[in-house]
Amino acid sequence: MLTIAILLPILAAIGVGLARNVSTGDGERRLQQVATVVAAVPLILLLVAWSRFGGSGGFEQVETVPWIPTLGVAWKVGVDGLSLPLATMTALLFVVAIAYPVDFRGRAAAYLALMLFLEGVSIGLFLAQDLFLFFVFWDVSLVAMYFLIGAWGHGDAARSALKFFVYTFAGSLPLLLAILALYLASEPRTFDMAELIRQQPLAGAGLYAMVVFLGFFLGFAIKTPMVPFHTWLPPAHVDAPGPASAILAGVLLKMGTYGFVRILMSMMPDAFADLAFPLAVLAVISIVYGALVALAQTNLKRLIAYTSVNHMGYVILGLAVAGVVAPGQEAAQRLALDGATLEMVAHGLITGGLFLISGSILTRGGTYEIAEYGGLLDRTRGLTVGTAVLAFASLGLPGLAGFVAEFQIFAGTLGVFPVLAMVALIGIVVTAALFLRMLGQMFLGPLPERWRSLPDLGRVVLGAIGLLVALVVLIGVAPALVLDVIDSFVAPFVAG
Amino acid sequence: MILLAPLVPLLAAGAGWWLLPRRGSGWLLLVALVLTMGAAGWVVASSTRELTIGWGPVLSLSLGATAFGATMLLLIPAIAAPIIGYAYVTEAASRRSLVPLLLVFVATMELLVLSRDLLMLLVAWELVGAMSWLLIGHRWRDPGPPSAARITFITTRIGDLGLYAAAGVLFAATGSFRIDAIMALDRPAADLVAAGLLLAASAKSAQVPFAQWLFAAMAGPTPVSALLHSATLVAAGAYLLIVTSPLLGAVPWFLPAIALVGLVTAFAGGVVAALQSDAKPALAGSTSAQYGLMFIAIGAGAPAIAGAQLVIHAVFKSLLFLGAGVAMHESGSGRLAGMRLGRLRPVTALLSAIGLLALAAVPLTGGGWSKEAIVAAADERSVLVGTLVLASGALTAFYAMRLGLLMWGPGQRGTAREERPRLRADDLTMLPLAAGTVALSMLWLPGGAAWLAGADGRGFDLFSLLLSMGVIAAGALAAVALDRRGTLLAPAGDRGAELARTWLGFIPLFQSAVARESMRLADTLARFDARVVDAGVRLIWRLTRTLSRAIAYRDVVTVDGAVRAIGSGTLLTADLSRIADERGVDGTVEGTGRAVGRAGLESRRLQTGMSHEYLQLIAAGLAVALFILVIAR
Amino acid sequence: MAMGTDMAVMVGDVIPELALLVGAVIVLLLALTLPASRQAWVAWPTLIALLVAGIATVALFGGEERLTFAGTYAVDAAALWAKLFILAGTAAVVLLSVPWFRKDPRHGEYYALLLLAALGAVLMAGAADLKEVLVAILLSSVTGFVLAGFHRRSSLSSEAAIKFYLVGALANTTALMGAALLFGLAGSTTLEGIGQGLAAGGEGARPALLLGLVLLLGVLGFKLGAVPVHSWVPDVAQGAPAPIAGFITAIPKVGAFLFLARLMLVLPEGVDWQPLIAVAATATMTLGNLASLWQDDVRRILGWSAVSQTGYGLMAIVGLGASSLALPALLYFLAAYVAGNIAAFGVIVELRGRTNLADFDGAGRVRPALLGSLAISFLSFIGVPPLAGFVAKLLLFAVAIEVGYLWLAVVAAINTVISIVYYVRVLAPAYLRTPAGPIATLARPAAVATYLATAAVVLVGLLAEPFVAAFSGRPLLP
Amino acid sequence: MTLDLVLIVAAGLFSIGLYGALSQQSFVMLMMGLELMINAGLLALGALWAFSTAGSAQGQMLGIVFMTVMAVEMAIGFALVTHVYRARRADITEKLRKLKG
Amino acid sequence: MIPQPLIDALFVVFSIGALVTGYRVFRTDSMVRAAFYLLASFAAVGGILVLLGAEFLGMVLILMMAGEMLVMAIMMVMYMMNPAGLNPMWMVHQHRRAVVGGVGSFVVLVGAILLTDFPSASRPPNLAVTEQLGIELLGDSMLVFQTAGVALLATMIGVVVLASQRGRFGSAEDGSAEPPLQPDEEPA
């Protein structure tokens, strides 16, 4: 079933990509509807998987097909408390992103095919229980995203796409080397994650383990992205079409943090514990730096992009806290890891929504410059409310998804790295400032003459954003829905 | 069931969004307000003491009415009801959004006072803050309110960090967020929690140095100001300390620090109120000062009295704000200079006067009682503090009198329209508040204090009472005297008015020193980010390029290339120094790309297209290969 | 060594080779008899010869690994696989050639030479003897020179041929001195004998051994296009007829890599050849990638990229003997590389030799399938999963890491990143720009070959198991 | 006549040949350099065959291979040079530099 | 059998001859003369080979080179400028580097030769050299021999392809070019 959730969109992508006669608006719309329906299937399958989820702490619903047994490679997918929420969030975000109206530039089939392909790949990454498979999905996602940005982006899209591709590919290669090092150290050699977690191949490998750690770290830190490896992010976001940005921020960035937990913390816990403090420091730098740089941005998308740096910093901070050796603080570590994982989901929904909205703003106003706008609340209630809720969620307002996650991270961090937590708290104020400033400048105040006829969001968009907002609220009000699943992974993990 | 208290107003708000535009919605609103109060009362009366909601595997939310919490729970809807009524009456155009928001505001505040753990408290706390953003920015079409709302939210959020920290430290130390767990804390953790709570409370209750956000908050409609000054937003800070200060006995500096903050604010706020030339900011200054008194009471170890002061202040301050709203409406602006509406709105003037008496803490009013109690409590701790509080009474009396005269004084006969005194709808909403203010005078009755403050109903000693009266009279008389001389509007001249407008200089301090500097930092970082962050990466790339160029010089591989090698070594050095030079100017990844690109061009030079040079390359290459083989052992 | 009765057995070991030779002769004779209008038919016997050779090769798989012809020729799994790659690649080149050379009447000579070139590569792959490898290289080279210069009216073609020749002749020549020295030291020319002889030689043999080795490696480097004997590769890729460019940059490499592997394995203990190969790999991949960066000619880009790919392949050689993954990595890399290279050049052929970068604007929209093939082959070169190139790189990196050459893997990784730029420089305008005009293609056979090669790139990647399993666990003779 | 002496003569021939191959502009002269190098290889082979390998039959065969290489290289070389000279009027290496970079 | 002193003397003569004539190849004003110097050098080497006992190889070398050099000389007369050495001929490039290459290779080679202990295993004096080669050719080295034959076949075909201006169906140049980018265009 999980296999279907991965392969169906990929195969459907081929079908959609070969679709003919979609040059007319009608044909495009119909194809988009078909693609949306296809995209929803994995979501349904994952929800079924969710309903069957037992919370045993290990991998469940595992499906294994030998792939390259000689090398210990298998098509092995499954879920646990970490991957299930992320995969489900991914599927959901893709449904929304695929349904989202976008300027196809006469190539609807290719666009939708790429999106579907990317959906399968992204879900696959989170479900993969095999490092080889994981890396396959990891790398392929870059290619699909490259074309999405390059072909449907705006501004200097080709260049931004190339920068994205080269930079993130540069990150994926150390990752590959590190995976290989892990593989070569295992006995019997295998790429199977569960087996590698059991074996802990590099335990006590000293300097070598550090080098391997560095490889993983580079790969994940670039993808996440952590300061100072983040400079690919703003141009990629600014020039990408709205839905692609949403996927980039909502899904692709999570791959980095997911990798931190799934690989570094699980397979090399000793090395991770040794380096957790520097990692936490880097995370705090990301938090504060990302927030401050975002504050200075005048471009809506750049602003949101930098808040991603900030939020991903929270995630890493939570991970570092959970990974360090801190006797007596297991509860705090559990809290931190719960929070960090939830933050991945929450950030996916929130920032995904914000990027979708900024895409709509661009199609309406033709620019991302915040200062160009003003008083839009007058014309666009739906747009404003959606933006405001998501912005508040992003700045961590209780009752919305971001708060639960961030609060747990902070509370956990205070138990382990109190000073860092205090510094990181600055981020909360700065993000509040920048989002409120953005909201104020764009939606409040007097309405400039040129926007008198700005249309509000269409039905599809409202529905899409509404769905995300509803989920953000739902998680914010009843986080246990997701946290219980997450904790089924976290509690045994932290307990060791 | 406990959830009913916040849920009812929340539902009412939802219903209001649909129903308010219709006819006859006033009655529905009344029903909603009554239900809200009823729900609060029912929760207080019900036997359920506590409710715990699982909020996740580790997190849980506890709700329940503590003793003081119950008081607050009742107070909030009681204060809010007239105010919302006032909003319904006066803000007809925007009532559809304003009234529901106010109801939500009430709901969040009720949630706050029901919180039994710091997590729930933080949730409600932040929600209250967010609601304040929505309410203060309610007149969003004007350019001012949105930024005022932002200042409010951000300033209080700086304080919120304290609460975050306190909650986290509490959890780290005890494994629980429960407020009663604070008691069990040991010193370093307890210190952190205490500091966090003080920070949070100071910011929320508009204490120095955060007090100035209250000015910004005046951008909101009058009912909003009335509500957030009395029973909600601002009250949250004092409430927090009232609830938690008894639990932090382990921290010796905690109470004195609270008292100090309160004392400074009491005077500073008083001065601001006395010098302010606009109605609402003057009241805002007085709010700070009054909460300063509460802080002093808490610091003096008498949280019960602080609680009483909170209740009393809530009642009369909301009354005063509604009055101010009427005055502003009538005079068309918030400037005190154009008011003196006593003749125009005698009923309103009368109702306001009741509030002003309580503000001035005239004995036999509720305000008078609480102030005397604070003086007494402070005296017990330190005679100096007691004396200072007593002295601040003069300031309070002065600005109360000043406001009364400037707003509601009789004014020039004939300049204003004169009407037959009658009770209007807006006056009607003030009536319950005025009644409440009067009713609170019963505190002076023997045993009267017991039900509100749970405090002993001890009397005040006569001497200090007389002294207070003297001080108050002096303050009031000073105001009258200044009025006679015509300088009441600007008692300390332009400079004083300026000081008041800038909250004794705090506003520019925050705006330039904090806000602008952080903006500048942000800008600098953004520039840094765009230009320099990749410098490290770029350096590596440049070295690669230089290296490849060195390799690419085909001459290097031949014998006479030794000279060239020196030459390219020089080039390398030159390159390095240029990199160092350019670092700050141009550090983009694009620079990286260019560097590699140049490396590409350089390496192409190796392929000269001339076959004899290919052959030479082979000969040289094989020689190098032999060399490697020979040395590789 | 026994003679006579064994001869039949031995001939049985070289049926694929004989099929190619006979095929070449038949093609020649047939071309002499066919009228002008039917000359192109000789492509059929060419294909049949390749097919027969392929079947014969498959049939040989059942047998044991063995040396034949007095130890001069190896029949082992690696050689047989290599032959299959060579034969399949050559067959694809034949298909590419049919439309490309339609106007050229000299079909007989062309296909005969092509078959003989394939034979040369096949013989290199099996050679276990210095004499044999020298003549095999000679055969492969001499046909290559001629094929590269086959376009008589193209000045680039003849220039490519003579540069190819000059570099090759020098490499061949120096190799002779190397072979003489090795023979002198070991007293034998078979690899088996050399291994034994050198092992007995001890420390005193070292200077001449190293010199001879380097001289011999020169000619292998020439066939591989490894630095410093790489200079011909971009010139030939650009100047030679496009199908031949695809052939020469890939097929002989298969044979050369195998012989290089065999040679390295017989070297005695004291010779630390790994650093040399590692350095050569580094230099080769780095130079290839850097030089590719700003080329404006797609064929030339492919030529330089062929150089860099050789560098990657050399990583497998570094691990030979120490890593059980080395041989599978090498074979897998060769399979992936041959398929990818044929696909890429196939696209160029099918696009009628379109090679100017500026001519590719919007080609992805006009010819989505063809440019899709190009994209897949490029992505495979980069090493994007799940394409064959990815598994190849994964194995190569694994080998390097396993034998302690982490730095080499890191260098290769950095190079891979650099390489993205030039591959994308071709693909980006093809997909992101608007087409300037119609883009004509050649006839169907070239497209078929291109798509088959593309499918191979995908399938070999997706269904890697049979290949990896088949490449593993079988020894490399001698 | 010792092994070392013959080998040194061979080395000399090889070096002269290499010098020629590197220095001559004319294709034909360049090829003569290559010839000399093969010549040297053959001489070295002969010496090693006679002094070091006990007259191994493989050595003689290797010599045949050397001569084959020489013959083939020269034949193809002449053909190519002829062809290029006809096509491009080029007889020295410097005249062929369209393909570069 | 030739006596050893005579062998040594002949070796010295042949060696000097080979080196000197080899050197003269690149120090003459006529390519034809260069070809004959080369032939002389080969002949000297052939002589040494004979002295070493490889009569067959030596003789074949001399015969083959005689033929080849004739061809070369004819070619030079046909195509190259300055065939008869009427003008001084000095056509070199990168001369200094070439000298370095030559000298360097000599130093390396001699160094390697002198530093190496080659196995000492002299040819048996009564070895039937030609017979040995024949058996080898048709026995153990059968495959090599065949391959060499194929290489020669390929060379013949190749030489025809490259050098012949006439094909079976007219000029060899016809259609021998890349297809044009558009089907109706002239070939590039």
Quick: pLDDT tens for C389-398: 999 999 999 9
Q: What is the mean pLDDT of chain A?
A: 90
In this prediction, residues A424-453 reach a mean pLDDT of 89
Smallest Cα distance from A385 to chain B, Å: 12
Instruction: For chain B, give the percent of residues with pLDDT over 90.
Output: 19
Q: What span, in angstroms and rounded, lies between the C-alpha atoms of C290 and C418?
A: 7
Instruction: For chain C, give the percent of residues with pLDDT over 90.
Output: 67
Is a pLDDT exceeding 70 seen at residue C242? yes
For C164, name the nearest residue in chain B, comparing CA atoms only.
B611
In this prediction, residues D37-57 reach a mean pLDDT of 92
Confidence of residue A243 (pLDDT cuts 50, 70, 90): very high
In this prediction, residues E15-43 reach a mean pLDDT of 89
pLDDT at A244: 94
Contact C132 E162 (CB under 8 A): no
Is a pLDDT exceeding 90 seen at residue B511? no
Contact E101 B619 (CB under 8 A): yes
The answer to whether D78 and D35 are in contact (CB under 8 A) is: no
pLDDT at A128: 94
Q: Is the ipTM of this complex over 0.90?
A: no
Q: Does D61 touch chain C (CB under 8 A)?
A: yes
β-pairing, C66-68 with C73-75? antiparallel
Residue A485 to residues A80, A194, A317, Cα–Cα distance (Å): 8, 19, 21
Q: What are the residues whose beta carbons fall under 8 Å from the beta carbon of B276, sequence distance 6 or more?
A: B282, B285, B336, B497, B500, B501
Q: What span, in angstroms and rounded, lies between the C-alpha atoms of D17 and D36?
A: 5
Instruction: For chain E, give the percent of residues with pLDDT over 70.
Output: 90
The answer to whether A339 and A404 are in contact (CB under 8 A) is: yes
pLDDT digits (tens, 9 = 90+) for B279-313: 888 888 899 999 999 999 999 988 888 988 999 99
Q: What span, in angstroms and rounded, lies between the C-alpha atoms of D100 and A144?
A: 35
For D68, name the nearest residue in chain E, comparing CA atoms only.
E148
- The helix (H) or strand (E) run that includes residue E167 is strand E166-167
Neighbouring chains of D at 3+ CB pairs within 8 Å? B, C, E
Strand partners for B63? B51, B115
Q: What span, in angstroms and rounded, lies between the C-alpha atoms of B260 and B254?
A: 10
pLDDT at C113: 95
For D30, name the nearest residue in chain C, comparing CA atoms only.
C166
pLDDT at A134: 94
Neighbouring chains of E at 3+ CB pairs within 8 Å? B, C, D
Position of tokens 């008041």?
Answer: B500
Is a pLDDT exceeding 70 seen at residue C188? yes
Q: Does C146 touch chain D (CB under 8 A)?
A: yes
pLDDT digits (tens, 9 = 90+) for B558-587: 333 444 444 444 444 444 444 443 443 334
β-pairing, A73-79 with A60-68? antiparallel
pLDDT at B588: 46
Q: What is the mean pLDDT of chain B?
A: 81
If you count them, how many residues does chain A have?
Answer: 496
Confidence of residue B503 (pLDDT cuts 50, 70, 90): confident
pLDDT digits (tens, 9 = 90+) for C412-453: 998 998 888 889 889 988 888 888 888 888 888 899 999 999
Position of tokens 């929505």?
Answer: B134
Instruction: For chain A, give the percent of residues with pLDDT over 90.
Output: 61
pLDDT at D61: 92
In this prediction, residues D73-81 reach a mean pLDDT of 90
pLDDT at B412: 66
pLDDT at A116: 95
Is a pLDDT exceeding 50 seen at residue C3? no
Neighbouring chains of A at 3+ CB pairs within 8 Å? B, C
In this prediction, residues A152-168 reach a mean pLDDT of 86
Question: Closest to B559 (Cβ–Cβ): which among E93, E100, E105?
Answer: E100
Lowest-confidence pick of A247-261, A442-456, C132-146: A442-456
Contact B629 C229 (CB under 8 A): no
pLDDT at E173: 78
Alpha carbon of residue A237 to chain centroid: 13
Q: What span, in angstroms and rounded, lies between the C-alpha atoms of C382 and C420?
A: 6
Q: What is the mean pLDDT of chain E?
A: 84
Q: Which residues of D touch C177 (CB under 8 A)?
A: 10, 14, 37, 40-41, 44
In this prediction, residues C219-229 reach a mean pLDDT of 92
For D39, name the nearest residue in chain E, comparing CA atoms only.
E42
Instruction: For chain E, give the percent of residues with pLDDT over 90.
Output: 31
Q: Does E94 touch chain B (CB under 8 A)?
A: yes
Q: Does B24 touch chain A (CB under 8 A)?
A: no
Q: Bin C33: left if φ > 0, else alpha if -120 < ψ < 50, else beta.
A: alpha
- Residue A330 corresponds to which tokens in the numbers above? 């297991």
Q: Does C65 touch chain A (CB under 8 A)?
A: no
pLDDT at E169: 75
Rounded to 5 degrees, what angle do the CA atoms E47, E49, E50 make? 65
Contact B609 D100 (CB under 8 A): yes
Q: What span, in angstroms and rounded, lies between the C-alpha atoms of A464 and A466?
A: 5
Contact C184 E140 (CB under 8 A): no
Contact B608 D22 (CB under 8 A): no
Confidence of residue B591 (pLDDT cuts 50, 70, 90): low
Q: What span, in angstroms and rounded, lies between the C-alpha atoms of C278 and C280?
A: 5
Is a pLDDT exceeding 80 seen at residue A439? yes
Contact B609 D99 (CB under 8 A): yes
Contact B157 A332 (CB under 8 A): no
Contact A181 C401 (CB under 8 A): yes
For D24, name the nearest residue in chain B, comparing CA atoms only.
B612
Is a pLDDT exceeding 70 seen at residue B457? no
pLDDT at C89: 96
Strand partners for D92? D26
Q: Which residues of D touch E110 (CB under 8 A)?
A: 8, 11
Instruction: For chain C, give the percent of residues with pLDDT over 70.
Output: 98
pLDDT at B453: 55
pLDDT digits (tens, 9 = 90+) for B5-17: 888 988 988 888 8
pLDDT at C460: 92
Question: Closest to D98 (Cβ–Cβ): which among B609, B611, B616?
Answer: B609
Residue A72 to residues A60, A193, A202, A262, Cα–Cα distance (Å): 20, 11, 18, 19
Q: Does D34 touch chain C (CB under 8 A)?
A: yes
pLDDT at B459: 63
Is a pLDDT exceeding 90 seen at residue D11? yes
Q: Which of residues 182-241 of C touch A (CB under 8 A)?
A: none
- Let me know if chains B and C touch, i.e. at least 3 Cβ pairs under 8 angstroms: yes
Confidence of residue B419 (pLDDT cuts 50, 70, 90): low
Contact E100 B616 (CB under 8 A): no
Question: Closest to B616 (Cβ–Cβ): which among E97, E105, E108?
Answer: E97
Q: Bin B46: left if φ > 0, else alpha if -120 < ψ < 50, else beta.
A: beta
pLDDT at B295: 94
- Residue B488 corresponds to which tokens in the numbers above? 């009441």
pLDDT at B277: 83
Cis peptide, bond prior to residue A398, ω within 30 of zero:
no
pLDDT digits (tens, 9 = 90+) for C135-148: 999 999 999 999 99
Is a pLDDT exceeding 60 seen at residue B248? yes
In this prediction, residues E65-80 reach a mean pLDDT of 76
pLDDT at E164: 81
Neighbouring chains of C at 3+ CB pairs within 8 Å? A, B, D, E
Q: Higher pLDDT residue, B590 or C196?
A: C196
Question: Closest to B608 (Cβ–Cβ): which among D21, D24, D100?
Answer: D100
pLDDT at B584: 33
Contact D96 B607 (CB under 8 A): no
Amino acid sitting at position A125: L
Q: Does A407 touch chain C (CB under 8 A)?
A: no
Q: Which residues of C touch D54 (CB under 8 A)?
A: 187
Smallest Cα distance from E169 to chain D, Å: 19
Contact E92 D24 (CB under 8 A): yes
Q: What span, in angstroms and rounded, lies between the C-alpha atoms of B67 and B628?
A: 87
Smallest Cα distance from D37 to chain E, Å: 10
How many CB pairs (< 8 A) connect C and D? 138
For C403, name the nearest residue in chain A, comparing CA atoms only.
A184
Is a pLDDT exceeding 80 seen at residue C366? yes
Is a pLDDT exceeding 70 seen at residue B213? yes
Smallest Cα distance from E105 to chain B, Å: 8
The answer to whether A62 and A463 are in contact (CB under 8 A) is: no
Contact A180 C464 (CB under 8 A): no
Contact C207 E178 (CB under 8 A): no
Q: Higher pLDDT residue, C9 or B443?
A: B443
In this prediction, residues A193-220 reach a mean pLDDT of 90
Q: What is the mean pLDDT of chain C?
A: 91
Contact D98 C174 (CB under 8 A): no
In this prediction, residues C187-215 reach a mean pLDDT of 90
Is a pLDDT exceeding 80 seen at residue B234? yes
For C197, name the nearest residue in chain D, comparing CA atoms only.
D53
**DSSP-derived secondary structure letter, B184:** G
Confidence of residue B90 (pLDDT cuts 50, 70, 90): confident
Is a pLDDT exceeding 60 seen at residue A230? yes
Smallest Cα distance from C285 to chain D, Å: 16
Smallest Cα distance from C404 to chain D, Å: 35
